[in-house]
Amino acid sequence: MDQQDFEKLKRCAIGNLRKTSRTATLFGDTVLQPTGLKVTQFTMLSAIAEQGSLSVGQLAEKMLMDQTSVTRSLKLLKKMGLVKSVRGRDGRTRLISVTPEGYRKLDEIMPLWEQTYARIAEKLGQKHLDRLLAELDLVNNTLH
C-alpha cells in the first residue's frame, strides 16, 4: 500500500460511519450516565415501549442487531427491572415488554434526550441536522 491508498481509505464510507457511530455513542453514554443506562439500552427500551411487546427476534430485526447481543442487553434491562418477558402463545417464543419501572425510566430520560437533541441541533443547525438524519435514513434503507 502506498500513501494514495491510505488517502482513499480515509474516505471509506463504512469506516467513517463507524467512527461517527462511536462518537455519537460516547456522547450519548456520557449524557445518560446519571440514569444508569447506555445509549444502546435506552434505544432498546424505547423500541420495546413503542411496540408494546415483541419477541427477541423481532427486537433484533428492528434494531439491526444479532439475537445474542439483544439477549445480552435484555439481561441487564431485566436485572434492572425495566423489562419483563413472558411466554408467547406458541410457548416457544418469549415476548418482551416494558415494566412500569421501565416507563418511569423512559420518563426520566426524556428531558435529557430533549436537551441533548437541542444541543446537537444548535451545534449543527436544525437544517443540517434534518439533512443528516435524512441521509442516514437513506444509508440505512439502501444498505439494509
Question: Residue 90 CA to chain centroid, in angstroms?
Answer: 29
Q: pTM for the complete prediction?
A: 0.85
Please state the rounded mean pLDDT for residues 62-89: 91
> Domains (ranges, CATH) in the chain?
38-143 (1.10.10.10)
Where helices occur in 11-125 by DSSP H, the ranges are 13-32, 39-51, 56-63, 67-79, 100-124
| Average pLDDT score, the chain | 91
pLDDT digit string, tens, across residues 94-141: 899 999 999 999 999 999 999 999 999 999 999 999 999 999 999 988
H or E stretch at 53: strand 53-55
Instruction: Name the phi and psi angles at 99, rounded to 5.
Output: -85, 165
- What Cα–Cα distance (Å) separates residue 31 from each residue in 123, 128, 137? 16, 22, 24
Q: Please check the confidence at residue 12 and state whether its pLDDT lies above 90.
A: no
Q: Which amino acid appears at position 30 of this protein?
A: T
Mean predicted confidence (pLDDT) in 69-83: 94
